[in-house]
Amino acid sequence: MVPLTPDIIINPISALGRYSQLLFHAFGAVTEVASYRKNLWRQMVKVGLDSLPIVMLAATFSGAVSTVQTSYQLVSPLIPRSIVGAIITSSMILELGAVVTGFILAGRVGARIAAELGTMRVTEQIDALETMGLNSVGYLIVPRVVAGVVMFPVLYIAACFCGIGGGMLIGELGGFVPLEEFIYGAREYFQPFDPIFGIIKSLVFGFLITSISCFKGYYTQGGAEGVGRATTQAAVASCVFLLLADLILAVLLL
Amino acid sequence: MIRVSHVNKSFGDKHVLKDVSVDIPEGETIAIIGRSGSGKSVLMKHLIGLMQPDSGSVTVDGIDINAITYAELRRVRRHFGVLFQGGALFDSMNAFENVAFPLRTFTEMTEADISRVVKECLAMVELEDVGAKLPSELSGGMQKRVALARAVALQPRYIIYDEPTSGLDPETSNTIDELIRNLADRLNVTSIVVTHDMHSVLNIADRAAFIYEGRMHWTGTIEALHHSDDQILKAFVTANEYKIGPS
Ligand SMILES: Nc1ncnc2c1ncn2[C@@H]1O[C@H](COP(=O)(O)OP(=O)(O)OP(=O)(O)O)[C@@H](O)[C@H]1O
Ligand SMILES: [Mg+2]
């Protein structure tokens, strides 16, 4: 028998349904702060502090590489060198800072969340939590998502500083753009809305990565293999939806 | 008393529980037996609302647990202790914190009282020294015993044991059986023991309920189990005896 609606349409819709349902339950549990306060702190450390070094490293390098490449592309004597500073600063703030942080968090935090919750699911620890009177959604998901939403902007800001810093450094040391011109360009073309846009993006990314990974982990099925599947799916889905959100936000807000 | 009536449950197109009904009277120890994959754990999860039936109902003390709010369900669960099949200890917490967990979520006990109760419970399973150890530092059998201590910490009225003795050596199995028996005799606890170990069934249960391919195939007293001439049940029981060896 050929089904009326193929799985390829049904599956994403039913996943979206269960995802929204899970979020709905999570929001319902937001008020049970007492049950997850301790967890929230631990998650903020895990999401934020532990990812800080790698985010800073990646952002510094992407800022530096962009500076070298932009200088290489703008070889015309008619274009002032300071333009490079303007381009690096705004692309870091508008796009690279958030996206670099997002990809790192999708791989690092998203995969970890899915593996953690997935293991708890298949070893019946989530059932045990429920049996012992805890709302597992509130206890496990709320602190992770809140930690993501709070800590992502912090990481984003750090990424921007590091990326721009990396650009300045390589520009000066490598003789591509003198420091004063870089700073001049960055100041001259600075748009106050850019960082606001970046922060909005960070909040959305932080929410997407953690909530998607929680969703994948929480509904894990089928033993160790299922945990592995949930982990990869969490990282991949986080990246895909992050790019999608990136585009949508750019179209809507810029 | 727990009453399961006409419960059906499917996962996708897999029909796991088929019109299952069973009554579990107050104070009784009932063994739910059946082959691996027959749906025992799924049935056990319906008893505490961890899974919802597609049709049929589960009532605990007259309350339909699928027709109440989450807060009310929580109050019902307060009366249950559950030993999950793999122990289900929280691996981020040490043994002491695991046993203390239900005391912290359900009661307003002081830390001193919690500490006393946890120590008593760990002593009961002969593991008074492992409080500071993480589950990953304990053997499988020890994890199971800590999980048992956690299940009984609140002195629940209903205790569900999912395969309490599987994976344990015969001596520890006997200790666990004795423990279950003692808990059942004290305080009028109602025990539900999910198992395929006929040896423990004969040791501890008043009654048995045999699930076969998702159906409640046979229920009756242990006495009746011995004399039943149901072929499928007999096959299950003898297969087990053969595995255990003559005792
Ligand atoms: N959450 C679930 N999603 C899909 N299928 C499930 C789920 N839980 C159980 N099943 C299926 O239901 C059937 C019964 O599983 P169950 O765990 O109840 O078996 P069991 O009788 O407890 O076996 P065992 O003695 O091995 O523990 C199995 O075929 C299993 O694959
Ligand atoms: Mg089972």
B245: confidence class by pLDDT, cuts 50, 70, 90 = very low
Q: Is the pLDDT of residue B246 over 70?
A: no
**Above 0.95 for ipTM, yes or no?**
no
Q: Measure the CA–CA gap between B23 and B25, rounded to whole angstroms.
A: 6
Name chain B contacts of A135, Cβ cutoff 8 Å. Answer: 70
Whole-angstrom Cα distance, residue A41 to residue B218?
52
**Mutation site, B47, B69, B91, B98, interface A, largest A CB count within 10 A:** B91
- Any A CB within 8 A of B158 CB: no
| B242 confidence band (pLDDT: 50, 70, 90) | low
Q: How far apart are CA B94 and CA A105, in angstroms?
A: 29
- Asked if residue B81 lies in contact with residue B152, where contact means CB atoms within 8 angstroms, the answer is yes
Among B4, B7, B10, B16, the mutation site with the greatest number of ligand 1 atoms within 8 A of its Cβ is B16
Asked if the C-beta of B48 comes within 8 angstroms of chain A's C-beta atoms, the answer is: yes
**pLDDT score recorded for residue B247:** 43
Our CA-based measurement puts residue B44 at a distance from the nearest CA of chain A, in whole angstroms, of 12
Of the candidates B46, B82, B44, B43, the residue with the CA atom closest to the CA atom of residue B65 = B46
What is the band of B140 on the pLDDT scale with cuts at 50, 70, 90? confident
8 Å CB contact between A102 and A120: no
Distance CA B141, CA B125 (A): 11
Tell me: the pLDDT tens digits for B51-107?
999 999 999 999 999 999 988 999 999 999 999 998 999 999 999 999 999 999 899
Residue with tokens 């922060």: A199
pLDDT value, residue A110? 96
Residue that is written with structure tokens 């754990």 in the block: B41
User: What residues does ligand 1 touch, defined as CB less than 6 Å away?
Assistant: A 221; B 11, 16, 34, 36-42, 85, 196
Partner-chain contact B80 A131, CB within 8 Å: yes
- With the most atoms of ligand 1 within 8 angstroms of its CB, the residue from B18, B32, B40, B84 to mutate is B40
What's the CA gap between B39 and B8, in Å, rounded? Answer: 11
Helix (H) or strand (E) holding B140: helix B140-152
Radius of gyration of chain A (CA): 21
A and B: number of Cβ contacts within 8 A: 44
Whether A106 maps to a domain, the answer reads: yes
What's the sign of the alpha-carbon dihedral A165, A166, A169, A172? negative
Residues 18 through 37 of chain A touching chain B, CB cutoff 8 Å: 35
Distance CA B146, CA B83 (A): 10
Let me know if residue A25 belongs to a domain: no
Kindly determine whether residue B88 and residue A132, on different chains, have CB atoms separated by under 8 Å.
no
Name A105's Cβ contacts closer than 8 Å, sequence gap at least 6.
Answer: A47, A51, A55, A148, A152, A155, A205, A206, A209, A238
| Both structure tokens of B109 | 């006990």
| Test mutation, B105, B152, B159, chain A, max A CBs within 10 A | B105
Rounded to whole angstroms, the Cα distance separating B168 from B247 reads 17
Beta strand extents in B12-142 (DSSP E only): 14-24, 29-34, 55-60, 63-64, 80-83
Q: Does A208 map to a domain? A: yes
Residue nearest atom 2 of ligand 1, based on CA coordinates:
B11
Confirm or reject contact between B101 and chain A (CB < 8 A): yes
What is the pLDDT confidence band of residue B172, given thresholds at 50, 70 and 90?
Answer: confident
Q: pLDDT below 50 — which residues of chain A?
A: 1
Burial class (CB in 10 A: 0-12, 13-18, 19+), B104: middle
Distance from CA of B224 to the nearest CA of A (A): 33
Tokens of B97: 């914190």
* Residue with token string 């699930």: B211
The SS3 assignment for B246 reads coil
A2 within some domain:
no
Q: Which residue in this structure is represented by tokens 């006990």? A: B109
Provide the number of structural domains found in chain A: 1
Ranges of beta strands (E only) in B120-196 are: 158-162, 190-195
> Are the C-beta atoms of residues A93 and A161 closer than 8 Å to each other?
no
Q: State yes or no: pLDDT of B199 exceeds 90.
A: no
**Residues at Cβ < 5 Å from ligand 2 ion:** B 41, 85
Q: Is residue A56 part of a domain?
A: yes
Q: What is the pLDDT of residue A3?
A: 54
User: Rounded to whole angstroms, how far apart are CA atoms B100 and B78?
Assistant: 14
For residue A239, the enclosing domain spans 37-253
Q: Can you give the three-state secondary structure of chain A, one letter per residue?
A: CCCCCCHHHHHHHHHHHHHHHHHHHHHHCCCCHHHHHHHHHHHHHHHCHHHHHHHHHHHHHHHHHHHHHHHHHCCCCCCCCHHHHHHHHHHHHHHHHHHHHHHHHHHHHHHHHHHHHHHHHHCCHHHHHHHCCCCHHHHHHHHHHHHHHHHHHHHHHHHHHHHHHHHHHHHHHCCCCCHHHHHHHHHHCCCCHHHHHHHHHHHHHHHHHHHHHHHHHHCCCCHHHHHHHHHHHHHHHHHHHHHHHHHHHHHHHC
Give the pLDDT of residue A4. Answer: 63
Contact A124 B74 (CB under 8 A): no
Q: Which of A131, A137, A144, A221 to mutate to test the interface with B (most CBs of B within 10 A)?
A: A131
A6 found inside a domain: no
Assess if residue A9 is contained within a domain. Answer: no
Residue identifier of the C-alpha nearest atom 30 of ligand 1: B37
Asked if residue A7 is part of any domain, the answer here is: no
Q: Quick one: DSSP state of residue B196?
A: S
Across the interface, whether the CB atoms of B84 and A134 are under 8 A apart is answered no
